[in-house]
Structure 1
Amino acid sequence: MDQNTDTGRDTQDTDTQHTDQGGCPLGGRVALVAGATRGAGRALAVELGRGGATVYVTGRTTRERVSEVGRRTETIEETAELVTAAGGTGIAVPTDHLAEEQVRALVERIDREQGRLDILVNDLWGGEHLLMDSVFGRKSWQTPLDVGLRILDLGVRSHLITAALALPLLVRSAAPLHVEVTDGTAVSNRRYRENLYYDLAKNAPIRIAFGLGEELAEFGGTAVAVTPGFLRSEQMLAHFGVSERNWRDAVAQDPDFAIAESPYYLARAVAALAADPDRANRWNGKSTSSAELARAYDVRDVDGSRPDAWAYFEEVRFAGKEGSAEDYR
């Protein structure tokens, strides 16, 4: 298949091409979660699998190889196994999404094995190790240029490569869904994100979703940018020296961590969006958050709460309103 020219689309024009297998709302769907090694990406893959989808999970860390992130404790193979255990079909494909030939091979494999793609989740990042000393608190001209450009590679270029090569397959779906995962919404990111390179990297996916929303509309598609709040990712828990079981102990180190949410909060909300037959009318081209989606789809986090980190930071931390994190859970 020529990824640059094949824009053929399934002749059926509604979500009815997908079969609801055993009551699973995403039964029969084919998904790709790009960047599913850990954090939100892993949770998104698992929740799409819980809905019954076949999920291709990609990333650079495998049981044989560790990426520049440097963490050996999470792998794409483990993510795929979690997808399958949740009720879906998980398929791990090691992929560096900055390597065009690897992404092209990935898409060709999905085409060969499935014939289409229904859901594309762009959760590519892996740049946390670049941020602290080299980035935050520094002017753009004080930021090492190689670090700044790497941030843009990881947060923008990887997304564009993946979209460019996967969209010709995605539009074969009766109702294609493209999800851009970022940090912040179009509203919250009106505030400067402390460093020019990081600001660009986290605003670009919002504009990608907006632009692709225009392009996918004629295919009955939906493109949406989503963000978690203060995420209790594996890396963040390790940073504080806690686990998911005792994460509240970290509040002593950072009081704002009291508003933190698990990766499954966003994932549950996105899975509900993916199962919504009216999603194009509700979300196409928009930027939204885990909290907004949770309200719309009556979703809660693993502890039963419904945290709204962005409202908490905007109103309490930035505007000085009286309140605590618990008021926003």
Structure 2
Amino acid sequence: MSTASVRTGSAKDLTGRVALVAGATRGAGRAIAVELGRVGATVYVTGRTTRGSVSEVGRPTETIEETAELVTAAGGTGIAVPTDHLEPERVRALVERIDRDHGRLDVLVNDVWGGEHLVDLDDTRVWEVGLERGLRMLRLGVETHLITSHFALPLLIRRRGGLVVEVTDGTSEYNGPRYRGNLFYDLTKNAPIRMAFGLAEELKEHGCTAVSVTPGFLRSEQMLDHFGVAEENWRDAVAKDPHFAIAESPVYVGRAVAALACDPDVARWNGQSLSSGQLAGEYGFTDADGSRPDAWRYFIEVVHGGKEASAEEYR
């Protein structure tokens, strides 16, 4: 695979392949869908916010229809299917549609989340967190992934070479020795790492691969809004949080997943916890601005490790 194909979309490495990006309304999921489209895939994009309905996240301007249009504009074929991945019958119907339409599924990206509004890291004790809120977080970030894999994997394993990507926040190296500030959040973001490990074992005999992938400090739409900046002036937010200097756009993790999907030797990663920065070093792609941030190495070595270095040295 040419690394240029991942950076520019000049080659169609996934032509004829079918992907499902579960949770593609915004952020990493949207970018992953678009970059899979850029290398030629047909991409089914799902989520709860459509042009006629808004999910509990409450961001009506980001819709799965728009994501599908961006996939098609990038060179692939985007297909929007409104889906609540907590409803098993809707997920079953989604997979049955993919089967009817194409008879195959080559890439499954489990990126369902939508729980940012539930996270309050000031509530540091499990007994201080509203139980309904905490359990909702787990349902959104863990149960959705399990339901989707249950229905989608029988279609994916029909052909050898299939790829499952569990999207999360943090690598096993970073998360392992560190508490993520809230037990429900900690469990939610560590579970996909373990899911990828377990699925790797179950898929191995079918010649398929499972990995977990995390972006770094992601400049999602919600994060930009949180800091009161736009992508064009995102560096202004460094005054509020110096570590935001290591931030990356969603394009970066999108290119990471596209690189994995295009790699004929992707099985070498089976069961591993990977990051966008790590994969950029392996495959040679960059972020949209031409930089190559390695956020998790920065956090491990500088923020927690005490190394004297700037974020720019990790870009």
Same fold (TM over 0.5): yes
Alpha-carbon distance in 2 for matches of 1:90, 1:195: 36
Alpha-carbon distance in 2 for matches of 1:275, 1:168: 21
Corresponding residue number in structure 1 for 2:290: 304
CA-CA distance at 1:137 after TM superposition: 4.2
Alpha-carbon distance in 2 for matches of 1:73, 1:247: 20
Amino acid at match of 2:242: P
Alpha-carbon distance in 1 for matches of 2:11, 2:29: 24
Alpha-carbon distance in 2 for matches of 1:288, 1:58: 23
SS at 1:223 equivalent: strand
Question: What CA deviation, in whole Å up to 9, does each residue of 1:96-153 have, x standing for no partner?
Answer: 0001111011001001101110100000100000112xx4442111111111100100
Amino acid at match of 1:153: R
Corresponding residue number in structure 2 for 1:183: 169
SS at 2:127 equivalent: helix
Corresponding residue number in structure 1 for 2:208: 221
- Please give the TM-score of this superposition, normalised by the length of structure 1: 0.91
Alpha-carbon distance in 2 for matches of 1:143, 1:284: 35
Alpha-carbon distance in 1 for matches of 2:61, 2:225: 11
Alpha-carbon distance in 1 for matches of 2:312, 2:165: 29
User: Structure 1: which 4+ aligned runs deviate by more than 2 Å?
Assistant: none
Q: Are 1:265 and 2:252 counterparts?
A: yes
Alpha-carbon distance in 2 for matches of 1:241, 1:171: 44
Corresponding residue number in structure 1 for 2:223: 236
Question: What CA deviation, in whole Å up to 9, does each residue of 1:55-110 have, x standing for no partner?
Answer: 00000000000000000111000000000000000000000000111101100100
- Please give the TM-score of this superposition, normalised by the length of structure 2: 0.95
Question: Any conservation in 1 of the 2:68–2:78 contact (CA below 8 Å)?
Answer: yes
Alpha-carbon distance in 2 for matches of 1:320, 1:285: 30
Q: 1:121 aligned to 109, 120, 129, which one?
A: 109
SS at 1:140 equivalent: coil
Question: Any conservation in 1 of the 2:123–2:129 contact (CA below 8 Å)?
Answer: no
Q: 2:96 aligned to 108, 120, 123, which one?
A: 108
Amino acid at match of 1:32: L
CA-CA distance at 1:209 after TM superposition: 0.4
Q: 1:31 aligned to 11, 14, 19, which one?
A: 19
Q: 1:59 aligned to 23, 28, 47, which one?
A: 47
Q: Sequence identity of aligned pairs in percent?
A: 73
CA RMSD of aligned residues (A): 1.0
Unaligned runs of 5+ in 1: 1-21
CA-CA distance at 1:23 after TM superposition: 4.0
Q: Are 1:201 and 2:188 counterparts?
A: yes
SS at 1:142 equivalent: coil
Alpha-carbon distance in 1 for matches of 2:95, 2:201: 23
Amino acid at match of 1:119: V
Question: Any conservation in 1 of the 2:124–2:183 contact (CA below 8 Å)?
Answer: no
Amino acid at match of 2:136: R
Corresponding residue number in structure 1 for 2:240: 253
SS at 1:141 equivalent: coil
CA-CA distance at 1:173 after TM superposition: 2.3
Corresponding residue number in structure 2 for 1:277: 264
Q: 1:75 aligned to 46, 49, 63, which one?
A: 63
Amino acid at match of 1:47: E
Amino acid at match of 2:153: L
Alpha-carbon distance in 2 for matches of 1:145, 1:25: 46
CA-CA distance at 1:185 after TM superposition: 0.8
**How many pairs does the alignment contain?**
305
Amino acid at match of 2:215: P
